[in-house]
Structure 1
Amino acid sequence: MKNITLSADEILIEAARERARAEHTTLNEQFRRWLSDYVRQEGRADAAVALIEELRGRVRTGGRKFTRDEMNER
Protein backbone atom coordinates (compact mmCIF):
# COMPACT_ATOMS: atom_id res chain seq x y z
CA MET A 1 0.00 0.00 0.00
CA LYS A 2 1.29 3.42 -0.93
CA ASN A 3 1.30 6.38 1.46
CA ILE A 4 0.13 9.82 0.35
CA THR A 5 0.12 13.21 2.03
CA LEU A 6 -2.96 15.43 2.01
CA SER A 7 -3.54 18.94 3.29
CA ALA A 8 -6.76 20.10 4.92
CA ASP A 9 -8.00 22.47 7.59
CA GLU A 10 -7.00 21.25 11.08
CA ILE A 11 -10.51 21.70 12.47
CA LEU A 12 -11.95 19.68 9.59
CA ILE A 13 -9.42 16.89 10.11
CA GLU A 14 -10.12 16.69 13.83
CA ALA A 15 -13.87 16.66 13.26
CA ALA A 16 -13.43 13.85 10.70
CA ARG A 17 -11.28 11.87 13.16
CA GLU A 18 -13.94 12.25 15.85
CA ARG A 19 -16.64 11.02 13.49
CA ALA A 20 -14.50 8.06 12.45
CA ARG A 21 -13.91 7.18 16.11
CA ALA A 22 -17.65 7.34 16.76
CA GLU A 23 -18.11 4.90 13.85
CA HIS A 24 -15.41 2.61 15.30
CA THR A 25 -13.04 3.13 12.41
CA THR A 26 -10.15 5.40 11.44
CA LEU A 27 -9.87 8.42 9.24
CA ASN A 28 -7.44 6.44 7.11
CA GLU A 29 -9.98 3.64 6.57
CA GLN A 30 -12.70 6.17 5.75
CA PHE A 31 -10.44 7.78 3.16
CA ARG A 32 -9.70 4.38 1.58
CA ARG A 33 -13.45 3.74 1.32
CA TRP A 34 -14.05 7.17 -0.18
CA LEU A 35 -11.24 6.69 -2.69
CA SER A 36 -12.64 3.32 -3.75
CA ASP A 37 -16.15 4.77 -4.15
CA TYR A 38 -14.78 7.74 -6.06
CA VAL A 39 -13.10 5.49 -8.62
CA ARG A 40 -16.18 3.25 -8.99
CA GLN A 41 -18.47 6.22 -9.65
CA GLU A 42 -16.93 6.77 -13.06
CA GLY A 43 -17.50 3.13 -13.95
CA ARG A 44 -21.13 3.32 -12.84
CA ALA A 45 -21.66 6.50 -14.85
CA ASP A 46 -20.15 4.87 -17.94
CA ALA A 47 -22.40 1.83 -17.45
CA ALA A 48 -25.48 4.05 -17.10
CA VAL A 49 -24.66 5.94 -20.30
CA ALA A 50 -24.13 2.64 -22.13
CA LEU A 51 -27.52 1.37 -20.91
CA ILE A 52 -29.24 4.57 -22.04
CA GLU A 53 -27.66 4.25 -25.48
CA GLU A 54 -28.74 0.59 -25.68
CA LEU A 55 -32.32 1.46 -24.69
CA ARG A 56 -32.49 4.25 -27.25
CA GLY A 57 -32.07 1.60 -29.91
CA ARG A 58 -34.88 -0.56 -28.48
CA VAL A 59 -37.55 1.79 -27.11
CA ARG A 60 -39.84 3.48 -29.61
CA THR A 61 -42.24 6.33 -28.89
CA GLY A 62 -43.58 6.70 -32.40
CA GLY A 63 -42.11 10.18 -32.52
CA ARG A 64 -44.30 11.36 -29.67
CA LYS A 65 -42.75 13.84 -27.25
CA PHE A 66 -43.70 13.39 -23.61
CA THR A 67 -44.25 16.25 -21.17
CA ARG A 68 -42.24 16.43 -17.98
CA ASP A 69 -45.35 15.45 -15.98
CA GLU A 70 -45.95 12.41 -18.19
CA MET A 71 -42.35 11.25 -17.84
CA ASN A 72 -42.55 11.56 -14.04
CA GLU A 73 -45.86 9.71 -13.67
CA ARG A 74 -45.70 6.47 -11.73
Structure 2
Amino acid sequence: MKNITFSADETLIEQARAEARARHTTLNALFRDWLADMAQREKRRDKVEEIFARMNAYNAGGHFTREEMNER
Protein backbone atom coordinates (compact mmCIF):
# COMPACT_ATOMS: atom_id res chain seq x y z
CA MET A 1 0.00 0.00 0.00
CA LYS A 2 1.22 3.49 -0.82
CA ASN A 3 1.21 6.23 1.82
CA ILE A 4 -0.05 9.71 0.97
CA THR A 5 -0.28 12.93 2.97
CA PHE A 6 -3.18 15.39 2.96
CA SER A 7 -3.76 18.78 4.50
CA ALA A 8 -7.14 19.65 5.99
CA ASP A 9 -8.71 21.91 8.56
CA GLU A 10 -7.88 20.66 12.06
CA THR A 11 -11.52 20.81 13.17
CA LEU A 12 -12.59 18.77 10.16
CA ILE A 13 -9.96 16.13 10.91
CA GLU A 14 -11.09 15.88 14.53
CA GLN A 15 -14.72 15.51 13.44
CA ALA A 16 -13.73 12.77 11.01
CA ARG A 17 -11.72 10.98 13.70
CA ALA A 18 -14.71 11.16 16.06
CA GLU A 19 -16.92 9.65 13.33
CA ALA A 20 -14.36 6.88 12.81
CA ARG A 21 -14.32 6.13 16.55
CA ALA A 22 -18.13 6.01 16.57
CA ARG A 23 -17.94 3.42 13.79
CA HIS A 24 -15.25 1.46 15.66
CA THR A 25 -12.69 2.00 12.92
CA THR A 26 -9.88 4.37 12.01
CA LEU A 27 -9.78 7.51 9.91
CA ASN A 28 -7.34 5.70 7.63
CA ALA A 29 -9.80 2.81 7.12
CA LEU A 30 -12.67 5.24 6.44
CA PHE A 31 -10.55 7.02 3.86
CA ARG A 32 -9.60 3.74 2.14
CA ASP A 33 -13.28 2.74 1.99
CA TRP A 34 -14.23 6.15 0.58
CA LEU A 35 -11.44 5.98 -2.02
CA ALA A 36 -12.48 2.48 -3.14
CA ASP A 37 -16.12 3.58 -3.40
CA MET A 38 -15.18 6.66 -5.42
CA ALA A 39 -13.11 4.54 -7.83
CA GLN A 40 -15.97 2.07 -8.26
CA ARG A 41 -18.51 4.85 -8.93
CA GLU A 42 -16.77 5.68 -12.19
CA LYS A 43 -16.90 2.03 -13.27
CA ARG A 44 -20.59 1.79 -12.31
CA ARG A 45 -21.39 5.00 -14.19
CA ASP A 46 -19.62 3.66 -17.30
CA LYS A 47 -21.58 0.40 -17.03
CA VAL A 48 -24.92 2.22 -16.73
CA GLU A 49 -24.08 4.41 -19.72
CA GLU A 50 -23.18 1.28 -21.71
CA ILE A 51 -26.51 -0.35 -20.82
CA PHE A 52 -28.48 2.77 -21.80
CA ALA A 53 -26.60 2.98 -25.09
CA ARG A 54 -27.54 -0.64 -25.84
CA MET A 55 -31.17 0.02 -24.88
CA ASN A 56 -31.33 2.99 -27.25
CA ALA A 57 -30.30 0.68 -30.09
CA TYR A 58 -33.63 -1.18 -29.82
CA ASN A 59 -36.74 0.10 -31.57
CA ALA A 60 -40.17 -0.83 -30.26
CA GLY A 61 -41.68 -0.40 -33.71
CA GLY A 62 -42.84 3.17 -33.68
CA HIS A 63 -45.17 5.37 -31.70
CA PHE A 64 -48.80 4.64 -30.95
CA THR A 65 -51.65 7.13 -30.94
CA ARG A 66 -53.72 7.61 -27.80
CA GLU A 67 -56.55 5.66 -29.43
CA GLU A 68 -54.27 2.76 -30.34
CA MET A 69 -52.93 2.56 -26.78
CA ASN A 70 -56.46 2.50 -25.36
CA GLU A 71 -57.83 -0.16 -27.71
CA ARG A 72 -59.07 -3.27 -25.96
Normalised by the length of structure 2, the TM-score is 0.82
Q: Which SS does the other structure have where 2:6 is aligned?
A: coil
Normalised by the length of structure 1, the TM-score is 0.80
Structure 1 residue 60 displacement after superposition = 2.5
Report percent identity of matched pairs: 48
Distance in 2, matches of 1:62 and 1:7, equals: 57
* Counterpart residue number, 2:12: 12
Q: Does residue 23 of the first structure (1) align with residue 30 of the second (2)? A: no
Question: Number of paired residues?
Answer: 64
Note closer, same or farther for the CA distance 1:61–1:23 as it changes in structure 2 (3 Å cut): farther
What pairs with 1:1-74 in structure 2 (closer than 5 Å)?
Answer: 1-60=1-60, 62-63=62-63
Amino acid at match of 1:39: A
Structure 1 residue 62 displacement after superposition = 1.5
Note closer, same or farther for the CA distance 1:20–1:59 as it changes in structure 2 (3 Å cut): farther
Note closer, same or farther for the CA distance 1:16–1:53 as it changes in structure 2 (3 Å cut): same
The runs of 5 or more residues in structure 1 that have no matched partner are 65-74
Distance in 2, matches of 1:6 and 1:56, equals: 43
The runs of 5 or more residues in structure 2 that have no matched partner are 65-72
Structure possessing the higher radius of gyration over alpha carbons: 2
